[in-house]
Structure 1
Amino acid sequence: MTADKIAFFVALETRVWQALTLGDKQAYLALLAPEFLGVYPSGFASLAKNLSTFEQAPGFAPSYALSEARIMDLAPGLVMLSYRAVFQRVADAQAKVMYVSSLWRRQEDEKWVNVFSQDSLAHASTNG
């Protein structure tokens, strides 16, 4: 796994975070597959459910950090990116840490889309 390949997928994931923090529904929609499935501490979320969050003000503060990225090539055109995210919700006073795994699929037009994401909040002892 080259550093360039990791950087490429971190850049894609960063675009997802940017869309969330800016409330940019069109940018978000362009990055996720129609069959997207999110697995979160709150439960399962389809693309439609995720898009409903854009009806409100952005829930994430614009400052976040993605680190400790690693990737797994699962099949041709299918890559799992896993990383640590430090983020803050607008309504929260303190930053939180979660570990994220996102499955990216290359489409026939060579564009990469996110088809699956699972977020796991870190225990308080690892928030640092």
Structure 2
Amino acid sequence: MTDDETLLEDLARCERRVWQALVDGDMAADAAALDDGFLGVYPTGFADKASHIGQLADGPSVTRFALSDLRVMRLGVGYAVLSYLACFSRVGTDTPERMFVSSIWRQDGSRWVNVFSQDTPAL
């Protein structure tokens, strides 16, 4: 396995943990994945770490998800961006949504933390 393939697997695992936290309503898991300076750029506006975690205050926000077409690009020492297509359903609706997501991850010792994420609705 190449270094890029290993990186892709590692970051895909990290990203799936964030999505699973949304399914489980697990604020602690969501918080653990995000850098304190996290910035999210979404169709609804900007979000910091507290607002990303806060979406789970009343429980899960997503019922199911699938990630596909994953790609990784190194951005420098200890930084990489994971881009992919997310297909998911929000709590309270069965209508599936599709978004292209790019998440920047920073290596922090032996783990990766999410410092930035941008969602673009797929048309």
Same fold (TM over 0.5): yes
Would you tell me which structure has more strand in proportion to its own residues? 2
How many angstroms does 1:110 deviate by?
2.5
Alignment of 1:1-128 (within 5 A): 2-61=4-63, 63-107=64-108, 109-123=109-123
Instruction: Please give the alpha-carbon distance, in whole angstroms, between the structure 2 residues aligned to 1:46 and 1:69.
Output: 24
How many angstroms does 1:111 deviate by?
1.8
Total equivalences in the alignment: 121
- Normalised to the residue count of structure 2, the TM-score between the two structures is 0.93
Q: 2:83 touches 2:102 (CA, 8 Å); kept in 1?
A: yes
**Aligned partner of 2:59: which letter?**
A
**Aligned partner of 1:65: which letter?**
A
**Aligned partner of 1:77: which letter?**
G
1:97 is paired with a residue whose SS is strand
User: 1:30-51 CA deviation, whole Å, 9 max, x = no partner?
Assistant: 1100000000000000011112
| 1:126 alignment counterpart | none
Unaligned runs of 5+ in 1: 124-128
Q: 2:25 touches 2:56 (CA, 8 Å); kept in 1?
A: yes
How many angstroms does 1:76 deviate by?
0.5
How many angstroms does 1:55 deviate by?
1.1
User: 1:66-118 CA deviation, whole Å, 9 max, x = no partner?
Assistant: 010001101000000000000001122211110000000012x3321000000
**Aligned partner of 2:77: which letter?**
P
- Normalised to the residue count of structure 1, the TM-score between the two structures is 0.90
**Aligned partner of 1:45: which letter?**
A
2:56 is paired with a residue whose SS is helix
47-56 or 68-77, which moves further after superposition?
A: 47-56
